[in-house]
Amino acid sequence: MTDYDPQAIELHRSSFVFDGHCDTLGDAIAPPPRGRDLTQRSEKGHLDLPRMRAGGINAQIFACFPGSVRLNACPTQAALLRLEAFYDLMRRAPEQVTLVRTADDLAALTPDGPIGGILGLEGVEALAGEMHLLYTFHRLGVRNIGLTWNPRNAAADGVAAGSAFGLTSFGRELVEACNALGIMIDVSHLNDAGVADVLAVSEKPIIASHSNARAVSDHVRNLADNQIRAIADKGGVIGVTFVSHFLNPNVREASLNDLLDHIDHIIQIAGVEHVGVGSDFDGCLPPPELDSGEKYPAITQGLLQRGYAPEDIRKILGENFRRVFLEVLPAQ
C-alpha cells in the first residue's frame, strides 16, 4: 500500500467515507478468470471487503449494472443475480458488511463497524416497464436508481441515444414513485433533456453519483455548469468519478490531479456542500494513484496539499452524500 502523510491518514481515518458508485457485484457473479470472492483480498479488480476496509470506506453504493448481458439475457435476471450476490456477501461476512435500507441504518454506521451497502439499479431495464417491479426491488433493498445507462430505455434516453428527448411518462411516474418510497434518483448517464426533466419533476434532492465537470473535460457524460448549479440548488450532490476519459480526454490514464481539478471546479460552481466521490470502481480505468479501494487516502492527501480545510475534506469524502441520503431515505 502506498505511504501517505500521517496528517492525511489521521484525517482520513476519522472521516466518514461514502463512495457513490461501483460495479463490483458484477465481478462477484462473473465466471473465471474475472470472477472473485469479495470477502478475500484480490489483485484483480478494484474493490473487495479487505481493500474497502484498508481504504477507510464506510458506505458504498453497489450498482446492479447488467453490462454486456443487456443484449443476450434478461435484465431483470441480471439485476436479481447481483442483488443476491450482495445478500450472499452479507451472509458470509455479516461482521464486515450490512445493508442500508433506512436513514436510521445509515446513521448507525461507524468507522469500526460493518461497511454499509446501498443497493442501486444502473438503468431501469430490470423493471421491464412495470411500476409493480419498482415496489419489488424496493422490498429487496434498492435505494438508489439511475434511470438509464447510455442507451434509451422505457424511462428516458441515455447520453448515447443521440436524441434530445427527456423523460417518458413512465420515467416521470418512476421519479414520483421513488420520491414517495425513499429511493434516491441518480442522473448520471442521462442525456441533458432527461437531467432537466428529473430536476423539474423530483421534489427531493437528487444525485449524479459518478459524473465530472464538462467545463474541465468536454465529455458528454460530464455535467454542464448549469446542471451542477441546478443539482446543488435542489440540495443534491455530484460524485466525481475516476473514469480516466471523463477526467482528461487527452491521456489514456488520467491522474489524481485531474480528479482534484474537477473537485475544484464543482466547488467553485456549487459550493463544497455539493460534491462527493463516486469512483466507478470495477467499471472503469482509473488513475494509477486510485486503482484500488485501499488508495482512497490519496484523495485526502491531495485535498490537503491543495489547501482544503479538514472540515471541507470530510464533506467531500462522504458527509455530503450521507447528508442527502439521510434526507431522502425512509426514516426507519
Interval 251-283: pLDDT, tens: 999 999 999 999 999 999 999 999 999 999 999
Give a three-class secondary structure readout of 279-309: CCECCCCCCHHHCCHHHCHHHHHHHHHCCCC
The CATH code belonging to domain 6-328 is 3.20.20.140
Using alpha carbons, select from 121, 136, 248, 138 the residue that is nearest to residue 189: 121
Average pLDDT over residues 71-99: 93
Per-position DSSP letters for 58-88, written without gaps between them: EEEEEEE--GGGGGTS-HHHHHHHHHHHHHH
Instruction: Give percent of the chain with pLDDT exceeding 70.
Output: 98
Taking the domains of the chain in order of start, what are their residue ranges?
6-328
Using alpha carbons, select from 186, 123, 134 the residue that is nearest to residue 158: 123
Instruction: Please give the helix or strand (H or E) that residue 100 lies within, else none.
Output: none
pLDDT category, 59, cuts 50, 70, 90?
A: very high
Q: How far is CA 29 from CA 34, 108, 324, in A?
A: 9, 29, 30
Q: Which amino acid is present at 24? A: T
* Burial readout 9-26 (b: 16 or more C-beta within 10 A, e: otherwise): eebbeebbbbbbbbbbbb
CA dist., res. 220 & res. 212, Å (int): 10
Interval 206-225: pLDDT, tens: 999 999 999 999 999 999 99
Q: Is the pLDDT confidence value at 233 over 50?
A: yes
pLDDT at site 67: 60
Average pLDDT over residues 6-19: 98
pLDDT at site 65: 87
- Bridge partners (DSSP) listed for residue 240: 277
